[in-house]
Amino acid sequence: MDIMQLVEKSKDAATVGRVFGEPIHQGDVTVIPVAKVIQGSGGGMGKGEAEAEGGGAGFGLGAAPAGVFVIKDGDVRWQPVVDVNRIVLGGQIVAVVLLLTIRTILKRHLKRR
């Protein structure tokens, strides 16, 4: 596969349809799911001496939920996804920093006595 063909395919993969899901209708409420889509591609070429040749290609695509647009009575509201894992990790980091700070303060206090 040619590298330029790979780049073109990667552009086709990053469409709006991958970011916005199909609208969901329930009564007078419409919900449109939204995702964060990250893509990347790469490649390489080369020619060398004797029988050395080259090649290479790569492509990556990742997606994670970002939230939903809620449409009700003509009003549009953004409802982000709450990443509980990120909140817990942030709390753990704050707790560790707090404990290390308290330990340092206590060590200094005890050395003064």
Global pTM value: 0.51
**Which ranges of the chain does DSSP label H, i.e. alpha helix?**
3-13, 16-19, 84-112
Q: 54 with 86, same domain?
A: no
Q: 57 with 91, same domain?
A: no
pLDDT tens track for 59-83: 777 778 888 999 999 899 999 988 8
The pLDDT value given to residue 35: 86
Q: 27 with 67, same domain?
A: yes
Q: 74 with 27, same domain?
A: yes
- Of residues 83 and 9, which shows the higher confidence score? 83
Q: 63 with 12, same domain?
A: yes
Number of structural domains the chain divides into = 2
Radius of gyration of the chain (CA): 26
pLDDT tens track for 15-52: 556 677 888 899 999 999 988 877 777 777 777 666 66
Q: 63 with 14, same domain?
A: yes
Domain hosting 50: range is 3-81
d(C-alpha 63, C-alpha 68), whole Å: 15
State the average pLDDT over residues 87-110. Answer: 94
